[in-house]
Structure 1
Amino acid sequence: MKALIVGAYEGSSSSDSPKLVLTKNGQQLDFSKDILKSIETLGPVKKGKSRLFHGISNQYLVVSLVNLGPGDAGINHVEHIDEKKENTRVAVAEGLKSIRGLDSEAINEVVVDDCGDAQSAAEGIFLSDWKFDELKDEKSRRKPLSFSLLNPNGENAAAWERGRLLARGQIIARRLADMPANLMTPTIFAEEVVKATEGTPIKVNVRDKAWIESMKMGSFLSVAQGSSQPPKFVELHYNNAPDTKPLVFVGKGITFDSGGISIKPSAEMDKMRADMTGAAIVAGTIITLAALKAKVNVIGLTPLSENLVNGEATKPGDVHRAMNGKTIQIDNTDAEGRLVLADALTYADSFNPQAVVDIATLTGAMKITFGEACSGVWSTNDKLWNLIHKTSIDSGDRVWRMPLFKHYTKEISDCHLADLNNMGKSRMGGSNIAAAFLQEFISCPNWMHIDIAGVMWNGADKGYLSAGMTARPLRTIVPFFESIFQNEQ
């Protein structure tokens, strides 16, 4: 049997007592008057909430009405978000939650009103339907449902499919990030990427430790030497814009981070299985771009390693030489993300890129700065910043620009033993100091660094994302990359 999610607007945001108005699709339902009559009797549905109706349709076992908020909602320039799009995602997710709350074996398909924005509706429904439960007993897993669009046509069907693919890309990355570290080693990650890209136009090269050594990636190897798991360096190539220079996307791939000898506290250390979320987002982004047949030329680089403690682990005060020849004094082995990224960024320049973007769960200071509200972005190029800021407003997954002042460079370049120190002299401005360190390994003038440590994890179901690793802001990055190449035309 089918269930239906249908939307209604509150009329105007300026109305003192907003009256719910069904969407265009909702008004065409033969039981629309029954819904409106019930609202008059029981009172309105609150914004972002739902109300279930039983027995009003022969076609649908249950109908979930969701409040989409004001009909005239749009971009909120204070919040830096398109509220109409975000309201749609949240509302349809709430509608699905109300249907799943029935725990009905009879319902196997949910039909979804496009709510005037089929892409956002698809993102909300498919993202909210997923949770990481594949390691549980089959009886405990979420019952699978199929989803379809109410009154599909050429335009809204295409938008629905785009939203579905964007959600799927984020789910791919979420799964990789949430998988326990014993089941997501560097080798397994590489195997998963190869498997996920089979039958696509993506070319994957999996580099081993011998190749990493031949490239003189001493900074990367300084992290990997503390683990018995061999490091990997995975390259993904997707080129559907052959007459353009590539954009290189680099993702931190620490499949478990104990902190090394500078060991982390035990509390919540289990979440460090997701210290490879940057690499997961690189893979999910490129898989999504290929599925969308996007006209882009993107190379993904994911240096993969564990950061553990053994007799060969890097010791605080050790000095290692990076691929670009610079020596690094490693005073804190828990600042390892910048070490693996340093060599990957140097290697990125070998592709003569038009731009380099890196993404990483890099610094705990991001949580202190922003909480879970947004990702931090550092950019040497205003155009790149403006493009990603615009796409973040649309996606609902926000970013905020951070400084690349020389003040922070001095923190890591005034070093006793080597050219650079992997830690600043001050504990203040830690995220900015980490970005300044990475900048020392970039030659491309168009560079962007994204720190996602603050948005890595949801402690509970929130909006349209279930508890667990979030893979934010993948849905911002995909259109960001598309817009870079659209602006090249």
Structure 2
Amino acid sequence: MAASVVRGVDKINATARHKCIARSLLRRSFSSSMNLNKALVLGVYENDSSDSIDFTGTAKKFNEKVDGKIAELLLRVKKPLKGGKTRTLHGLDSEFSSVTVTCIGKKEEGYDELETVDKGRESIRAAVAKAVLELRELGENEIEVDPCGDTEASAEGCHLALFSYDELKAVKNRKPTVTVSCASRFSQDKGNIEKGWKKGIILADGQNLSRRLMEMPANLLTPTKFADIVKEQLSSKCEVIVRDKAWAESMKMGSFLSVARGSVEPPVFLEIEYKGKQSETPIALVGKGVTFDSGGISIKPSQGMDAMRGDMGGAACVAGTLHSISRLELPVHVKAFIPLCENMPSGSATKPGDVVTAMNGKTIQVDNTDAEGRLILADALCYSQQFNPSLILDMATLTGAIDVALGAGAAGVFTNSATMWDKLQQASIRTGDRVWRMPLFNHYTKKITKCQLADLNNIGGGRSAGACTAAAFLKEFVTNKNWLHLDIAGVMSNEGAVSYLGKGMSGRPTRTITEFINIISKESQ
């Protein structure tokens, strides 16, 4: 009976919708008699041979458990599975109503120099993600997943794929809840596998927190509400201090406050500390927190402006990173600084041509109020240096220019430290969430220091090299010799570039920054 099911499904050559309906009907025909909604995901390696199946260790053991039925049925279909492709089988085992076999790519795939990622880990994330999404569409609500030789990547793939921000929709229109667990019982190394699975969940959860914050509508995620959510999510492991407008005024943060002037929502400055160990030179994280960016008086076009609820992506990724590193209990000392405000046009808003003064005393001619992210970061960077950090890493959805340059392929990185760059790139290779180094030449500094009324201009004087001149502006507020600026505007949202993230705000590069800090923590032990 199982063989006829596979042949029936394989012969369906209609649209994807018809395939899904057919599979759902087949699954229900089996599960109605067994009263099951439990499924299993198994991995196989890409194999050009039509005479054999190259199973993962878990898949091999389960195939033996069902007397070789999986291999028998897959071999009846003469076309071998290619990377990322799946086949779903029914009626194989009394415990599982569905068993989805997913191809995780070629065996022993590793670092790809041209792609600058670990292709083996990326293939696992993508293959597992596709399988669990298909099973959710079939109505399965409990899924066990093959660790596929890299438990951490497997856990990341399925938990990132199953995320959806639909809490504002009617219950009937929300994605069904799916419980995912690791099929560790089929392995001899159960302890280490479960440890890797737990780490993968923590990494995915951190990025999913970033995604949730970025997706929230700006009327629900004001600066005050952002601070409330961060306190709720992090206060059990971190100290969270919420600073108000009066505090920012006392610190002479004129650059930050100039952006907040146009909104009725009060600005907030968040200071967060995680002490995995005590250090006199903590790691400093800084995140741009513009909870809505209209452009101010230099107002943006209306088309696509709704996406500017995600202009606090840097702040969200800092929060997500702290969520992960605190739950991983990494032995590091991290201090985070998040300036939060809205950028709105009003009678009190900063006007093009106004001059404001930053915390370090430098004056800034604001020729474009839509170049606001660098203004709030300037004061946050100045303040962070009071704590003698070993390094400063800031993240910001800063410029459309970086999107033009790199698109969704990688986050742009500007740094004064080759050593820190090497560690960050090493982290991105492991996570599959790429970064790419951009120049910090004095050529770009001259563009923003050539100013009619003040020490600096907040724009570089033209369209060329917008991401580079923005980074050059920030450099004027940094004295630390280990500084990394990540312009993440190009990776803010996902339109299909990363298959396991789905459409919407991406939360990138939260996992890469977490892994970067993990690398540093290991080296300091």
| TM-score relative to the length of structure 1 | 0.97
What count of residue pairs does the alignment treat as equivalent?
482
Task: Name the counterpart of 2:66.
Answer: 31
Task: Name the counterpart of 1:141.
Answer: 174
Query: Residue deviations 1:364-396, cap 9 Å, x none?
Result: 011111111010001111111000100101100
Tell me the amino acid that sits aligned with residue 226 of structure 1.
Answer: G
Distance in 2, Cα, partners of 1:334 & 1:377: 21
Distance in 2, Cα, partners of 1:208 & 1:17: 66
Task: Name the counterpart of 2:20.
Answer: none
Distance in 1, Cα, partners of 2:95 & 2:175: 24
Specify the SS of the correspondent of 2:521: helix
| 1:119 lines up with 2:152 in the alignment | yes
| 1:109 lines up with 2:142 in the alignment | yes
TM-superposed CA distance for 1:245, in Å, is 1.4
8 A contact 1:461–1:467 mirrored in 2? no
Query: Residue deviations 1:11-69, cap 9 Å, x none?
Result: 4xxx6879541111111111262111122111322210111001111111100000011
Q: 1:86 to 1:460 in 2, by over 3 A?
A: closer
Q: 1:428 to 1:32 in 2, by over 3 A?
A: farther
Specify the SS of the correspondent of 1:28: helix
Q: Which has the larger radius of gyration?
A: 2
1:210-289 alignment to 2 at 5 Å? 210-289=246-325
Distance in 1, Cα, partners of 2:207 & 2:145: 20
Tell me the amino acid that sits aligned with residue 318 of structure 1.
Answer: D
Task: Name the counterpart of 1:96.
Answer: 132
Task: Name the counterpart of 2:11.
Answer: none
Distance in 1, Cα, partners of 2:325 & 2:178: 26
Specify the SS of the correspondent of 1:60: coil
Query: Residue deviations 1:85-139, cap 9 Å, x none?
Result: 000000000111221121x2xx331000000000000000100011110100011
8 A contact 2:284–2:336 mirrored in 1? yes
Specify the SS of the correspondent of 1:204: strand
Structure 1: 5+ residue runs without aligned partners?
Answer: none
Distance in 1, Cα, partners of 2:275 & 2:67: 48
8 A contact 2:330–2:521 mirrored in 1? no
1:13-412 alignment to 2 at 5 Å? 20-29=53-62, 30-31=65-66, 33-42=68-77, 43-102=79-138, 104=139, 107-152=140-185, 153-198=190-235, 200-412=236-448
Tell me the amino acid that sits aligned with residue 41 of structure 1.
Answer: R
Tell me the amino acid that sits aligned with residue 464 of structure 2.
Answer: M
Distance in 1, Cα, partners of 2:233 & 2:244: 19
Distance in 2, Cα, partners of 1:111 & 1:335: 47
8 A contact 1:317–1:329 mirrored in 2? yes
1:418-429 alignment to 2 at 5 Å? 418-429=454-465
TM-superposed CA distance for 1:349, in Å, is 0.4
Task: Name the counterpart of 1:466.
Answer: 502
8 A contact 2:269–2:337 mirrored in 1? yes
8 A contact 1:460–1:468 mirrored in 2? no
8 A contact 1:10–1:19 mirrored in 2? no
Distance in 1, Cα, partners of 2:202 & 2:279: 26
Distance in 2, Cα, partners of 1:382 & 1:193: 32
| TM-score relative to the length of structure 2 | 0.90
Tell me the amino acid that sits aligned with residue 53 of structure 1.
Answer: L
Distance in 2, Cα, partners of 1:411 & 1:262: 20
8 A contact 1:131–1:467 mirrored in 2? no
Deviates more, 1:31-40 or 1:78-87: 31-40
Distance in 1, Cα, partners of 2:395 & 2:354: 26
8 A contact 1:50–1:98 mirrored in 2? no
Q: 1:108 to 1:335 in 2, by over 3 A?
A: same
Deviates more, 1:40-49 or 1:436-445: 40-49
Distance in 2, Cα, partners of 1:311 & 1:362: 25
Tell me the amino acid that sits aligned with residue 333 of structure 2.
Answer: N
TM-superposed CA distance for 1:460, in Å, is 5.2
RMSD of aligned residue pairs (Cα, Å): 1.3
Specify the SS of the correspondent of 2:123: helix
TM-superposed CA distance for 1:399, in Å, is 0.2
TM-superposed CA distance for 1:485, in Å, is 2.8
Tell me the amino acid that sits aligned with residue 40 of structure 1.
Answer: L
Tell me the amino acid that sits aligned with residue 180 of structure 1.
Answer: P
Deviates more, 1:47-56 or 1:250-259: 47-56
Deviates more, 1:25-34 or 1:419-428: 25-34
Distance in 1, Cα, partners of 2:342 & 2:518: 32
Deviates more, 1:222-231 or 1:15-24: 15-24
Distance in 2, Cα, partners of 1:247 & 1:18: 54
User: Identity percentage over the alignment?
Assistant: 48
Distance in 2, Cα, partners of 1:6 & 1:65: 5
Distance in 1, Cα, partners of 2:351 & 2:328: 46
8 A contact 1:93–1:464 mirrored in 2? yes
Match of 1:436 among 449, 472, 480: 472
Query: Residue deviations 1:444-473, cap 9 Å, x none?
Result: 111000010000012359411021110101
TM-superposed CA distance for 1:426, in Å, is 2.6
Structure 2: 5+ residue runs without aligned partners?
Answer: 1-35
Specify the SS of the correspondent of 2:376: helix
Query: Residue deviations 1:277-308, cap 9 Å, x none?
Result: 10011111111111001111111111000000
Task: Name the counterpart of 1:4.
Answer: 40
Specify the SS of the correspondent of 1:472: coil
Query: Residue deviations 1:125-168, cap 9 Å, x none?
Result: 10001111010001111111111111251111000000000000
Distance in 1, Cα, partners of 2:52 & 2:429: 28
Deviates more, 1:458-467 or 1:262-271: 458-467
